[in-house]
Amino acid sequence: MTNLSALEAFIRTNPDARELKRALAVKMTLSQYTHGQIESLLGVTSGFISKWKHRYLAEGVETLRLAHRGSAPFLSVDQRQQVIDWLHPQKRTSVPEVATYIEQHFQVRFKSEQSYYELLNQARFSWKKSQAQNPKADPDQVEAKRVEVKKN
């Protein structure tokens, strides 16, 4: 039950390298290439070739497509841009502040802090803790040093 013309059309119109490799392996086996030849040309294993040939013969050309397409993002492109626009005028912020803003405005709570880090990175912020001044600084010593520097 092979439809070689459908397979060739799939190869001509497919930009995804992984799907294309599957289709080429199938076409080459149907064109009497040996597994060794296909392995060396495409850089695949014999098991890969057999798997996709059998799936193609059983289910057709659509089985060569990738099944996983990823999940939908929690924030739309516009919402992400709103968060970045909110971040730009701020001098300092933190991950909890960003999380609160997103939750209040978009009712979204990310499972991983990595999503907040990516937003901060896009807005050219550092998510590392920063301090306005050294917490161990002694104001009297600092002033004495300033006076000493001015004298010299």
pLDDT above 90: residue 152: no
End-to-end CA distance of the chain: 93
The pLDDT value given to residue 14? 78
Identify which of 123-127, 133-137, 141-145 has the greatest average pLDDT.
Answer: 141-145
pLDDT above 90: residue 72: no
How much of the chain is in helix, strand and coil states, percent to nearest 5?
Answer: 60, 0, 40
pLDDT, greater one: 152 or 25? 25
Name the percent of the chain lying above pLDDT 90.
Answer: 38
pLDDT per residue over 19-30, tens digit each? 889 999 999 999
Is residue 6 within 8 A of residue 56, CB to CB? The reply is: no
Is residue 119 within 8 A of residue 87, CB to CB? The reply is: yes
Distances (CA, A) of 78 to 40, 49, 82, 85, 96: 46, 43, 6, 10, 21
